[in-house]
Amino acid sequence: MNEKTRPRAVAFESGPLEVAGPARIVSATGEELGRATAEKPVYLCRCGASENKPFCDGAHQACDYAAAGDFPEEKLKEPTDDSQSEITVRVLQNGPLVLEGAFDVSCGGDDLRSTSRITVCRCGASSRPPVCDGSHKAAGFCAD
């Protein structure tokens, strides 16, 4: 797949997750919530404070969300088929974002790495951002 059309997910430091498509954002039940293209990315909340979850509304700025980190190599799953033209972002109820397909990930836009699956925190409580560590359970995070 061409680098320009390859889907990507970029976790901005202390900000949202940018998903540039082709990508589909779906609920845990499979309902389509939105689509991203290379020209029109979608921004997903990682701080847990957005009033428009799973989408970012800029609440991370008002709640002083601070999260730096990277996608650890051991959490990246090497794609077995690079021909997939779309990724799926599944929004788990009261839980993380699960991204699946063949796509690139990075923190801040640099150092793109390939993966086929990653689980991203959207409650703001993970001790290993941007990766979910299960903290949403103890934090009592509630969101569809």
- The reported pLDDT for the residue numbered 90 is 98
Token pair of 17, please? 């997750």
Token pair of 85, please? 């033209």
DSSP 8-state code for residue 130: T
Token pair of 49, please? 């404070």
- The reported pLDDT for the residue numbered 5 is 64
Question: Could you give the C-alpha distances from 32 to 36, 37, 66, 88, 98, in angstroms and in order?
Answer: 12, 15, 30, 10, 14
- The reported pLDDT for the residue numbered 74 is 87
Token pair of 106, please? 């990075």
Question: pTM value?
Answer: 0.92
Q: What is the mean pLDDT of each run of 10 residues along the chain (144 residues)?
A: 72 96 95 96 97 97 90 85 78 97 87 92 96 96 92
- The reported pLDDT for the residue numbered 144 is 84
- The reported pLDDT for the residue numbered 4 is 53
- The reported pLDDT for the residue numbered 3 is 52
What φ, ψ does residue 63 adopt, rounded to 5°?
A: -95, 5
- The reported pLDDT for the residue numbered 82 is 59
- The reported pLDDT for the residue numbered 83 is 58
